[in-house]
Amino acid sequence: MTELLNATETGIAEAARLLREGALVAFPTETVYGLGGDARSDTAVARIFEAKGRPRFNPLIVHVAELDAARAVAIFDDRAERVASAFWPGPLTLVLPLRPSARLSPLVTADLPSVAVRVPAHPVAQALLHAFGGPLAAPSANPSGKVSPTRAGHVMAGLSGRIAAVVDGGTCAVGVESTILGLTDGAALLRPGGIPAEALEDCLGHRLETGGDNERPNAPGQLASHYAPSAPVRLDVAAPERGAFWIGFGPEAGGADLNLSPTGDLVEAAANLFHYLREADLRAKGPISVSPIPDRGLGRAINDRLRRAAAPRPVA
């Protein structure tokens, strides 16, 4: 049975105790809820893959409380130091060379010579990381390939009975996963997310390449079919379609069943995206159609998630 814990000192202490025993605990970050396990324990990390049904070749993000803890698991160059100082704590993951002394389970990195690491800003995530006192491997707390959770109820709907506990910290403010920046060979945007690529380019002083591999990921969130509801998803639908559930965007989509942002605010749209995909999946009697989203700022992250949600599903 999965326990629902309040985000109190007592609840966080209980969550940290469970994690130290090798159990799995879901917790809120500013992006989505993460499924945490001790990143140093092969058993705990294997349980993450088992609970999610996640492919073993797909690496995990290591969450730590502060920059010094990140330096203990990854090798930082001047670029990494500059970006981390500008955007941490926050919705940014850095893929960096793995420090040989990191003592992470090789399951975390999928045996790659690099590691994905971030410092979350959410106060509950920070409190839990400090109480636990070590690195947590934490992919999104949902069955692999399905819509990511932005509320504790979403986690319970997908993983109840598979994990020890969920810490209820309310609704996640950003609503899409962290931006992933690869700094192992050049500088590449591996996944758009909560930090706009333009902001990273301003910090680094140059344009970013686009990286990633759908077949052999070097960072999370790169599989071609991902974030998928059960119903088929159609993109760039500017008007209602017969028999479809329409998720709109902006004032011109006034007749939509749900509107990501009636005012056309991309921040609001990102925060609503995964919850609305879940709601549409519950209510749709046919396909889910989605309005065009501007491909700038957070719109790049929204469109990335929508393209993966609409991609052909792998054959079981």
| Residue 53: predicted pLDDT | 85
Whether residue 241 has pLDDT greater than 90: no
Q: Which two tokens stand for residue 27?
A: 């917790």
Name the CATH code of domain 3-210 (choices 3.30.460.10, 3.30.1330.10, 3.90.870.10, 3.80.10.10).
3.90.870.10
% of the chain with per-residue pLDDT over 70? 93
Residue 250: φ, ψ to 5°: 90, 170
Read off the pTM.
0.88
SS3 content of the chain, % helix, strand, coil (to 5): 30, 20, 50
What residue type is assigned to position 28 of the chain?
P
Q: How far is residue 226's CA from residue 214's CA, in Å, rounded to a whole number? A: 10
Half-sphere exposure at residue 108, Cβ-oriented, CA atoms within 13 angstroms: 30
Peptide bond into 89 cis (omega under 30): yes
Q: 213 versus 294: which is more confidently predicted?
A: 294
| Residue 216: predicted pLDDT | 55
What residue type is assigned to position 70 of the chain?
A
Whether residue 225 has pLDDT greater than 70: no
Helices (H) and strands (E) in the chain, counts: 10, 15
Half-sphere exposure at residue 5, Cβ-oriented, CA atoms within 13 angstroms: 25
Q: Which two tokens stand for residue 55?
A: 């492919």
233-310 belongs to which homologous superfamily? Threonylcarbamoyl-AMP synthase, C-terminal domain (3.40.50.11030)
% of the chain with per-residue pLDDT over 90? 84
Question: Average pLDDT, stretch 219-230?
Answer: 65
| Cα–Cα nearest to 304, from 133, 176, 137, 207 | 176
Domain ranges of the chain: 3-210, 233-310
| Residue 264: predicted pLDDT | 96
Q: 4 with 154: CB under 8 angstroms?
A: no
DSSP state of 64: -
**Which runs of consecutive H residues, i.e. helices, occur in 141-265?**
152-159, 197-204
pLDDT digits (tens, 9 = 90+) for 71-87: 999 999 999 999 999 99
Q: Which uninterrupted H or E stretch holds 118?
A: strand 114-118
- Residues near 158 by beta carbon (within 8 Å), at least 6 away in sequence: 141, 142, 143, 146, 149
Q: How far is residue 259's CA from residue 276's CA, in Å, rounded to a whole number? A: 8
Q: How far is residue 125's CA from residue 90's CA, in Å, rounded to a whole number? A: 11
Q: 299 with 197: CB under 8 angstroms?
A: no
| Residue 312: predicted pLDDT | 81
Q: How far is residue 305's CA from residue 149's CA, in Å, rounded to a whole number? A: 13
DSSP state of 146: B
Q: Which two tokens stand for residue 184?
A: 């192992």
- Residues near 31 by beta carbon (within 8 Å), at least 6 away in sequence: 91, 120, 172, 174, 175, 176, 177, 178, 193, 194
Q: Which uninterrupted H or E stretch holds 168?
A: strand 165-168
| Residue 54: predicted pLDDT | 74
Q: Do domains 3-210 and 233-310 have the same CATH topology?
A: no
| Residue 203: predicted pLDDT | 97
- Report the sign of the C-alpha dihedral through residues 10, 11, 14, 20, in that order: negative
Q: How far is residue 65's CA from residue 124's CA, in Å, rounded to a whole number? A: 11
Q: How far is residue 148's CA from residue 127's CA, in Å, rounded to a whole number? A: 22
pLDDT digits (tens, 9 = 90+) for 190-220: 999 999 999 999 999 999 988 765 555 566 6
